[in-house]
Chain A
């Protein structure tokens, strides 16, 4: 269940503020983390930068101020270094969004529409923000976002490999400037170990979405056939 789910907007905003405002502890102050658990932002980004790929199922819950019932969708995410992300929605109806270094492609029952991201740097910045996190590209993110890292100290007796135990950390991205800061108030990614397991987007108008990820394969490698089928990369490397 997402952070915002079941809370009213005021509570959610206060929590968001608390997350953004939480000071990052210095390395010296940190208690020892279990192996495979990042203690700092740098450790997280260093590890993410080695990630070859990812496959995860997801459930997204979008809360809109206008609607009593959140909109829910589910599907599968595929990420491949250096900058490919496919979001395949399976319910309530099939659709997909593919992001490559060059383009954004949306496909549904009506067909496909493609946007050349090279001609839209503003859109590119927004759609690639999650990719940049997965790629561990701190430098790219830092040009557009204030980045804060909060480590959630495990309580005594926590089974750190238990998937139901609390998340280890939250990385909060707050847009620095227009146009992003007119669209989203913050983007927060939380994880366990080095796996992102929750993505929260809080929009400036109060709407929010929470995506819960269940990682099926971290460090996923894709076969040439999968690269073509999922990301549109031809065997010879041309798109």
Chain B
């Protein structure tokens, strides 16, 4: 079934809008098909980081999330499950009735993709997991009570702001200056002992989109 996505994929820089395309893919799952182009996948993407091992995330968990992607001309959302088990990180995009649409799996063997949408996935999954990484991985060895701190790692200047023992904001600026701008992540709705805040907003100033990630259920997996 052909549907209108609200934006034209062929006019987008694919690598720069990976999450938007995921949202579109989720919509395709929902509606059984979508206009999608693979044409841009050969475009060179700026180097914006290296995927780290899921073991750096600590204990195993399963989070159910709702992701809303906003870009200048539109908004789309989809449901997802983010799961960490041992050395494996899974991001599952869900269609209606919780049907898996796509599965991104990161482990010691690297990143792999399963696509059950019936259409090619026209994006580089690495960029999705880099956003997950910037939002949810630890970037310092220990939490901070209050204040701000910075470090340079993986080609980024990472700055965190903490208040009352909880992370409030994290920013990333490329040391190389390419791409320009700031990737800004804000956190709200911390509720101990939950490991994820209720709401994370990632404003990707490098590529011009915003992700709002609401964690609606979270379970520590023994």
Query: A and B from one assembly?
Result: yes
Query: Is B32 interfacial (CB-CB < 8 Å)?
Result: yes
Q: Contacting B81 at CB < 8 Å: which of A60, A71, A106?
A: A71
- Checking B1, B32, B92, B221 against A69 with a beta-carbon cut-off of 8 angstroms, the contacting residue is B221
Contact B62 A64 (CB under 8 A): no
Q: Which of B44-52, B94-102, B126-134, B160-168 contacts A (4 or more CB under 8 A)?
A: B94-102
Quick check: is A66 within 8 A (CB to CB) of the other chain? yes
Q: Please tell me if the beta carbons of B216 and A93 are within 8 angstroms of each other in the complex.
A: yes
Contact B83 A110, beta carbon cutoff 8 Å: no
What is the count of residue pairs linking A and B with beta-carbon distances less than 8 angstroms? Answer: 61
State the CA gap A126–B96 with chains docked (Å).
14
Tell me whether A120 is interfacial, beta carbon within 8 Å.
yes
Which of A62, A71, A72, A119 neighbours the largest number of chain B CB atoms within 10 Å of its CB? A71
Separation of A120 and B81 alpha carbons in the complex (Å): 29
Cα of A72 to Cα of B97 in the assembled complex, Å:
11
A62-B98, A113-B3 given; A67·B83 CB < 8 A: yes
Flag if B64 contacts A71 (CB, 8 Å): yes
Contact call A92/B77, Cβ cutoff below 8 A: no
Output the nearest chain B residue to A96 by Cβ-Cβ distance: B96
Instruction: Give the Cβ gap from B102 to chain A, nearest Cβ, in Å.
Output: 12
* Chain A contact residues, CB within 8 Å of chain B: 60, 62, 64, 66-69, 71-73, 92-93, 95, 97, 106, 108-110, 113, 115, 119-120, 123, 207, 209
Of all A-B residue pairs in the complex, the 6 with the closest CB atoms, nearest first, are A110-B77, A92-B216, A69-B62, A92-B217, A62-B98, A69-B219
